[in-house]
Amino acid sequence: MPVPMARLQEALRSLRTLRLLGDIGRSGGSLTSVADLVDNFADSQQMSFCLERFLALPGGRELLAEAPAPLQLDLASLAQLPRGTLGHSVAGVLLRLGYDPDFARPRPVATPQQWLIQRLATTHDIHHVVSGFATVGEGENGVLAITAVQIGFPAFVVLNTAASFGSFRFQPERYALVSQAIARGMAIGLASAPFCVQRWEEGWERPLADWRRQLGVLDPLQDEPYAMRRMLDDLDAEL
């Protein structure tokens, strides 16, 4: 692509990014606007580098070669698994919060980038459960930081950068928690095995504690203000 045209495309992408960040802020985190931001980075240089980092991870190239179909959760079946298993915990959280397990925007998965984007979208809530981050507020920033630091997923990097700056500039009373949550997520991401190459669907019946040990998540969130356990302290599930 000629350099002037590439620069124009990147300039337009930057303008769309700013507009979408404004939409996300005004809507309080609209999933539609977040999905638009994710799609805005499709075929970008940033997404190309993200894919390269994914492929360089142990198991990344093999997972992409198999390209499992986008994850579809059968919450009723997962809820029947024994307490303490990954599947039971994921189902318990999503059912309690009333989340649609098929919330992710349908996307084509014909290219490696498209497949990776949809894989991350459909496994996102599993990352919350495994790490212990709540699904709202600073907990969302924390869990985004894991994938941001592990493979540089563009939308997650931008969302956390905006959250950090936005809280510092406009909501300084939130900045401490936002920055702490992001730092905690980055620490988990740097210390643990990559979440993005895990075959979660092959281990629903495994104990959540086993998954955490295998990944190296030795200090999942428990009592922090942005912890899932604090958010759902009466849920009858391992968190």
Angle at which helix 3-27 crosses helix 31-40, to 10 degrees, equals: 170
Indicate whether 21 belongs to any domain: no
Residue 126 counted as domain residue: yes
Q: Provide DSSP, 122-167.
A: HHHHHHHHHHTB-SSTHHHHHHHHHHHHHH--HHHHHHHHHHHHHH
In a domain, 33, yes or no: no
Spell out, as residue ranges, where the chain has pLDDT lower than 70.
1-3, 5
Residue 23 lies in a domain: no
Measuring CA to CA, which residue among 26, 54, 50 is closest to residue 158?
50
Run of H or E residues at 48: helix 45-56
165: in domain? yes
Task: Give the pLDDT of residue 118.
Answer: 97
Nearest of 231, 233, 232, 153 to residue 185 by alpha carbon: 153
C-alpha–C-alpha distance, residues 108 and 70, integer Å: 10
How many structural domains are present in the chain? Answer: 1
**How high is the pLDDT of residue 226?**
97
Residue 121 domain-assigned (yes or no): yes
Return the DSSP state at 233. Answer: T
The answer to the question of residue 186 being in a domain is: yes
Task: Characterise 107 by phi-psi region: left (phi > 0), alpha (psi -120 to 50), beta (else).
Answer: beta
Flag whether 10 is in a domain: no
In the numeric block, the tokens 């198999």 are attached to 66
DSSP 202: G
Closest CA to 228 of 139, 116, 138: 139
User: Residue 79 has what pLDDT?
Assistant: 97
The pLDDT of residue 3 is 57
Q: Is 152 left (phi over 0), alpha (psi -120 to 50) or beta?
A: left
Q: Rounded to whole angstroms, how far apart are CA atoms 194 and 215? A: 8
Q: Which pLDDT value is given to residue 1?
A: 55
Q: What is the pLDDT of residue 201?
A: 97
Return d(Cα 230, Cα 239) in angstroms, integer: 10
Q: Which residues contact 215 (CB under 8 A, 6 or more apart)?
A: 130, 192, 193, 195, 198
Range of the domain at 212: 41-231
The predicted structure's pLDDT at residue 5? 65
